[in-house]
Amino acid sequence: MTFFTDLRDDVAGPLIVQFGQSATYRSYGARSYNNTTGLTTLGAPTDTTVALLDVSKSAQEFSDEVMARASAVLLASAKEFAAASVTPAVDDVIIFNGNTSKIIDIKATAPSGVPVIFKMAVQNA
């Protein structure tokens, strides 16, 4: 373990779990695009339980365009994602506080390349 994985697992993760709420992160397997219809078909869903904090949208971590579309900004510890070998991605889904939202942008706090916290701008689906 390194200092930053310890920071992720022993500090950021427990704090977000203590003060946040449980949520479901839903990712999809390989997507396929149909050139004839112009539609994308999602692969099979995989759910991962994570802890999230709903934070103020006033902080400018994202562009004005993203913030105009976002219904919420969420903080997630990278600990649960790392344990499930999952990396959050744009267009995946978060089910949080009774809402189903699509991730529209993600920023990782990743000192030395080790993600500690993910900041996600989400839009209600």
Q: Tell me the pLDDT tens digit for each residue of 46-63.
A: 899 888 888 877 766 789
CB 104 within 8 A of CB 66: yes
Name the burial class of residue 76, with classes exposed (0-12), middle (13-18) and buried (19+) by CB atoms within 10 angstroms of its CB.
buried
Query: Closest Cα to residue 88, out of 120, 55, 40?
Result: 120
Given a cut of 70, whether residue 76 has pLDDT beyond it is yes
Tokens for 14?
């427990």
Please write down the long-range contacts of 35-41, taking CB distance under 8 Å and 24 or more positions apart. none
- CATH code for the part of the protein at 3-124: 2.40.10
Confidence at 81, pLDDT banded by 50, 70, 90: confident
